[in-house]
Amino acid sequence: MQKTEQLYEGKAKKVFATEDPAYCIVSYKDDATAFNGLKKGTIAGKGVVNNRMSNFMFQLLEKNGIKTHYVEELNDRETLVRRVKIVPLEVIVRNKAAGSLSKRLGLPEGTPMKTPVLEFCYKNDDLGDPIVNEYHILAAELATKEEVETISAMALKINELMCEFFRSVNVDLIDFKLEFGRCADGTIVLADEISPDTCRFWDIHTQEKLDKDRFRRDMGGVEEAYEEMMKRIGL
Ligand code: UDP
């Protein structure tokens, strides 16, 4: 299927329409941003890693009964996906404290959570993606109650499947962010990406960081960390 007009350019991806309105093409860039766009940079090869890794994860999830927008990988940086309306929520699942949760609850990074923690943020750059609860979501009509229930159940199931998979390649899944889309018939599917940009991955033995925190925190070895994650998952 051929790209037609560009629909959207985000921080890390471009989205193009296709001849068939039911599909679009996602194109992954090497651009990286952090802290709501305040920090900008490039991570050589990131677009390839994120595209291939995300597609690998979406196929693994599909095999385990999770509906996603994934259709077909077109090349190293581009993927055909189902066209959906993104639910304006960032859905975060956490297994160990890190980042904003560490700050908010005063827990040292790496503190195990007794049960997985599910958080919702309202996807709105101007507001800095504020954290919201189910009352805010229903009151502001960001999603329906049924959608929140579906999304919550899917996110927790995805967490179980991802924890098991990453453990098998000696990676500790600390936390991650998901986005969901509504299909034309109202079905909720997993959308966006699953990559070192959107997950915290720590080596299971050394707890070395293998994700975008190396860029956010100027730790060096950023490209190497993305490459290492590709290698671990066998790509
Ligand atoms: N995350 C993301 N996009 C965002 C915010 C967070 O992909 O806009 C991911 C982040 O990579 C981490 C998880 O969600 O894996 C939890 O992030 P946190 O709330 O701790 O925010 P951060 O510390 O990244 O600002």
pLDDT tens string 166-198: 999 999 999 999 999 999 999 999 999 999 999
* Nearest residue (CA) to ligand 1, atom 23: 99
> What atom in ligand 1 is closest to the CA of residue 129?
8
The pLDDT of residue 178 is: 99
For the chain, the C-alpha Rg in angstroms (whole number) is 17
Please indicate whether residue 199, judged by its CB atom, sits closer than 6 Å to ligand 1. yes
How far apart (Å, rounded) are the C-alpha atoms in residues 8 and 70? Answer: 18
Please indicate whether residue 129, judged by its CB atom, sits closer than 6 Å to ligand 1. yes
Please indicate whether residue 134, judged by its CB atom, sits closer than 6 Å to ligand 1. no
| Pure H helices in the chain | 46-63, 99-105, 134-139, 145-168, 213-216, 222-232
Cβ atoms 148, 134 nearer than 8 A: yes
Regions in the chain scoring below 50 on pLDDT: none
The pLDDT of residue 1 is: 86
How far apart (Å, rounded) are the C-alpha atoms in residues 186 and 143? Answer: 11
162 phi, psi to nearest 5 deg: -70, -40
What's the sign of the alpha-carbon dihedral 169, 157, 66, 31?
negative
- How many whole angstroms from 198 Cα to the centroid of ligand 1? 6
How far apart (Å, rounded) are the C-alpha atoms in residues 125 and 98? Answer: 21
Cβ atoms 201, 173 nearer than 8 A: yes
Please indicate whether residue 109, judged by its CB atom, sits closer than 6 Å to ligand 1. no
Chain mean position to CA 32: 14
Q: Which of 36, 119, 177 to mutate to test the pocket of ligand 1 (most atoms within 8 A of CB)?
A: 177
